[in-house]
Chain A
Amino acid sequence: MKRYNFRPSFPADLRIYMLLAKDAQKACENYLAPTQQLQAGSTSAQTGGSRLIGAHMPTSGGLYRSLTLGAEIGCNVVQLFTCSPRQWNHPELKADDVQAFLHARDDTGIDFTVAHDSYLINLAAPSEEILEKSRRAFLMELKRANTLQIKWLVTHMGAHLDQGEDEALARLAQSLRQILEETDKLGYTVGIALETTAGQGTGLGWRFEQLGRILRDVGDHPRLGVCLDTCHVFVAGYDLRSRERYDASIAHFDSTVGIDKLKVLHLNDAKKGLGSRVDRHEHIGFGEIGMEPFGFIVTDPRLMHVPAIVETPDSDTMHEVNVRRLRHMSEGGGPYAEVTVSLFGHYSELSKGEPVTLKLPCCTTLKDALVELGALNDELKNIGDHCRFAVNDEFCELTAQLVDGCAVAVIPPVSGG
């Protein structure tokens, strides 16, 4: 598919053709680029009823902002911190804030909300003092979440701090029993979801067996479940990168923890490799896990009811893209977008005048495609600085979304005439 010609070879009757201005203008008006169609299709109103996919949203400006911002970027589930995750003491929720949150919930239709607890809490702490402080703080977390009618509070399983894993797991089980009992009495509805961890340092919960043991020790409880984080389990050593390995890892989870206990999914790609035990989240499809496994998860009939939440970097710009990427796959879309890139001017010599095909994660931006191009050839590394770009014969910004089959053109400064 040559879109331009050094030595054109148009069919004779097409050699000279005329465009009547009005017709052409009308054609332009009627022309709706795939990017625009995609944006039109991603409003929250049109995602109602489909699989729960969302993101951890910021709360600056008020807790309710997590919901309104989430709705704007296509979330139908939202996770939030109900207070600063790096402080011990927090004031009680204000009635106005609770009202604003519940109103925003009704306005946006985002009924399913998840909270994440403070990073300081260690319900397995060997020090009595820290353990007590953690239990009190965790009870406050649950109180806030319950008041906000949040469904699950996600927490890490704490760390044993070199004081013995067995004892730490026993202390954690004791903490959870106590907390569940206390909050049962208060009639709380919010549940506790223990999150799989990456296995950094002395953190607990990176082996499925540890989670399974806690669930058995605490005893079956409807308000106790598990949150599976794809980045964490992958760097902890559970491979997901083929249908067989994904199925094997999920089967292992089912036999040790139980799929029925899975209440929340954190969908993050991993910057570090399998078994590295280093927790660094990456954009969906751009890390070590890659696109396909996320497709397996969001279309897995066993997990359809489990809300999926991204906690990827650059939340203000990239959450929207990652959510869209997951939703696209959950609706049966392919994991990749094959894009052809036509190079013009002296760049056209790099590809001998032929378009270059790039296989990119679906719902990728033009900016991401340029990074991939730069990786192919050093000369293409900084083309964003001085070239313009077109997608499907329309000039566009670097933020433009690329869909499968679209045609990108790299337009250096021109010299016609």
Chain B
Amino acid sequence: MAFIIICSDVLDTRQIESSVSTHANGAVCTFVGQIRNHSRGKDVEYIEYQAHVALAEKELNRLAVEAETRWPVTVAISHRLGRVNVGEASVVVSVGSPHRSEAFAACQYCIDTLKVTVPIWKREVGPDGAIWIEGDESVRAGTD
């Protein structure tokens, strides 16, 4: 039973962890992705996240179910949209499991897969302007 959350609020890591922290689980492994103050040699003030929400939900759900099929784990993933400031979390992947090795493996699988398949995009904004990141490419954004 996976938990998927896409929202524009500040992510509450503890709350997300609690959804996979049952008494049967001896391990909870959580990955928190947060906004860095620099990217590609430039200062970053904040990132704006955009998503195809319906499709992103489906993809997150698909990869979480995949992880739960491969390992004896429970997965919770939440991703934030809109403006996220430096130091704030943009994504939280929390995996609960009876033992730690599966929790580590499933957690890494989820975040790695999320980054290449889920339709969410970032627009990095800094003093030099804004840049869209699309896969390995970056595209200078217009001003808003």
Contacts and interface: CB of A to CB of B under 8 A. Distances in A.
Interface of A: 3-8, 10, 15-22, 24-25, 28, 342, 344-346, 348-349, 390, 393-395, 409, 411-417
Contact of A416 (B4, B49, B137): B49
Contacts of B121: 344-345, 412, 414-416
B22 interface: no
B118 interface: yes
22 contacts: A4-B51, A5-B81, A7-B8, A16-B9, A19-B2, A19-B61, A344-B119, A346-B141, A349-B141, A393-B58, A395-B55, A411-B52, A414-B120, A415-B115, A415-B121, A415-B133, A416-B49, A416-B115, A416-B119, A417-B79, A417-B91, A417-B111
Interface string B1-25: 1111101110000000000000000
Contact of B8 (A8, A349, A395, A415): A8
Q: Taking each of A15, A390, A411, A413, which has the highest tally of chain B beta carbons within 10 Å of its own beta carbon?
A: A413
B33 interface: yes
A345 B1 contact: no
Contacts of A10: 7-8
Contact of B54 (A3, A7, A18, A20): A3
A21 B50 contact: no
Contacts of A346: 132, 134, 139, 141
B65 interface: yes
Contact of A5 (B8, B9, B64, B137): B8
Contacts of B137: 413
A414 B65 contact: no
Nearest to A353: B50
Contact of A4 (B52, B65, B68, B142): B52
Nearest to A407: B54
Nearest to B91: A417
Interface of B: 1-5, 7-9, 33, 48-58, 61, 64-65, 68, 79, 81-83, 90-91, 111, 114-122, 132-137, 139, 141-142
Q: Taking each of A415, A416, A417, which has the highest tally of chain B beta carbons within 10 Å of its own beta carbon?
A: A416
A413 B132 CA distance: 11
Contact of A21 (B1, B54, B56): B1
Contact of A390 (B5, B52, B57, B64): B52
Q: Taking each of B33, B65, B120, B136, which has the highest tally of chain A beta carbons within 10 Å of its own beta carbon?
A: B120
Nearest to A28: B58
A24 B52 CA distance: 17
Contact of B90 (A5, A8, A21, A417): A417
A390 B117 CA distance: 13
A17 B141 CA distance: 31
Nearest to A413: B135
A-B CB proximity, top 5 nearest: A413-B135, A416-B120, A346-B132, A415-B133, A8-B8
Contacts of A28: 58
A272 B132 CA distance: 43
A170 to B, nearest CB: 68
Contact of A413 (B61, B65, B83, B136): B136
A407 B50 CA distance: 18
Contacts of A390: 52, 55, 119
A349 B144 CA distance: 9
B111 to A, nearest CB: 6
A321 B54 CA distance: 29
Nearest to B57: A19
Contacts of B3: 18-19
A416 B118 contact: yes
